[in-house]
Amino acid sequence: METGRGTLTDVLDEHVRVRPGALAVADGELTLTWQELGRRVDRCAAALAAAGVARGERVLWLGQNSFRVQELLLACARLGAMLCPANWRQQPDELAFVIDDLTPLVIIDQNEEIGETTGAGIAAARHTAARVIVHDADGPDSYEAFVAASSGRSAVRVAVAADDAVLLIATAAFGGRPNLAMLPHRAIVAQARVMAPFMGVGPDHRYLNAGPLFHVGVFMENFATLVAGGTNVFVRRSDGAALADAITRHRCTSGYIIGPMVDALVEAIREAPERYDLSSLRGRRGNPTYDAMVQPDDSPWGRRPGGYGQTETTGMATFNLLAGRDAIGTHGRASSAVELRIVDPDDHEVPIGETGEIAIRGAIVMRGYWNRPELNAQRSRNGWHHTNDLGRLETDGTFSFIGPKSRMLKSAAENIYPAEVEGALRSHPAVADVAIIGVPDERWVQSVKAIVVLRPDADPVPTEADIVEHCRTRIASYKKPRTVEFVDALPRVGFAVDYEALDRRFGGGNYPGGTTRSA
If asked whether residues 382 and 474 sit together in one domain, one would say no
**For the chain, how many structural domains are there in total?**
3
If asked whether residues 190 and 329 sit together in one domain, one would say no
The DSSP 8-state label assigned to residue 319 in this structure reads E
Alpha carbons 450 and 467: distance in angstroms, whole number: 9
If asked whether residues 274 and 397 sit together in one domain, one would say no
If asked whether residues 245 and 163 sit together in one domain, one would say yes
Q: 125's torsion region: left (phi>0), alpha (psi -120 to 50) or beta?
A: beta
**H/E segment holding residue 69:** helix 67-79
CATH code, domain with 230: 3.40.50.12780
Residue 518 lies in a domain: no
Residues 449/487, Cβ–Cβ less than 8 Å: no
Q: Any residues with CB less than 8 A from the CB of 428 and at least 6 apart, and which?
A: 462, 467, 470
Q: Which of 100, 124, 87 is nearest to 213 (CA)?
A: 87
Name the β-bridge partners of 410.
415
Alpha carbons 499 and 112: distance in angstroms, whole number: 41
If asked whether residues 414 and 392 sit together in one domain, one would say no
Mapping DSSP onto H, E and C, the string for 188-220 reads: HHHHHHHHHHHHCCCCCCEEEECCCCCCHHHHH
Give me the domain span that covers residue 387.
Answer: 316-404
Residue 302 lies in a domain: no
CATH code, domain with 470: 3.30.300.30
pLDDT at residue 174, as a whole number = 54
CATH code, domain with 335: 2.30.38.10
User: How do strand 254-255 and strand 206-209 relate by DSSP bridges?
Assistant: parallel
If asked whether residues 344 and 214 sit together in one domain, one would say no
Residue 517 lies in a domain: no
Query: What 3-state class would DSSP assign to 123?
Result: helix
If asked whether residues 285 and 429 sit together in one domain, one would say no
If asked whether residues 389 and 424 sit together in one domain, one would say no
If asked whether residues 399 and 413 sit together in one domain, one would say no
**H/E segment holding residue 180:** strand 179-184
Q: Which of 385, 404, 423 is at the close of a domain?
A: 404
If asked whether residues 169 and 257 sit together in one domain, one would say yes
If asked whether residues 378 and 420 sit together in one domain, one would say no
Residue 515 lies in a domain: no
Residues 62/128, Cβ–Cβ less than 8 Å: no
Residue 236 lies in a domain: yes
Give pLDDT tens digits for 177-187. 789 999 999 99
Residue 321 lies in a domain: yes
Give pLDDT tens digits for 382-422. 999 999 988 889 999 999 987 777 677 877 777 787 877 88
Q: Which of 376, 404, 432 is at the close of a domain?
A: 404
Residues 445/514, Cβ–Cβ less than 8 Å: yes
Alpha carbons 186 and 267: distance in angstroms, whole number: 41
Residue 514 lies in a domain: no
Residue ranges of the chain whose pLDDT lies below 50:
1-4, 516-519
Angle at 22 between CA 20 and CA 28, to 5 degrees: 120
If asked whether residues 362 and 489 sit together in one domain, one would say no
pTM of the entire predicted model: 0.84
Q: Which of 332, 334, 339, 265 is nearest to 303 (CA)?
A: 332
Q: Which amino acid is at 156?
A: V
Residues 501/120, Cβ–Cβ less than 8 Å: no
Q: Which of 293, 324, 351 is at the close of a domain?
A: 293
Residue 298 lies in a domain: no
**Biggest distance spanned by C-alpha atoms of the chain:** 73
Q: Which amino acid is at 212?
A: P
pLDDT at residue 350, as a whole number = 92
pLDDT at residue 281, as a whole number = 97
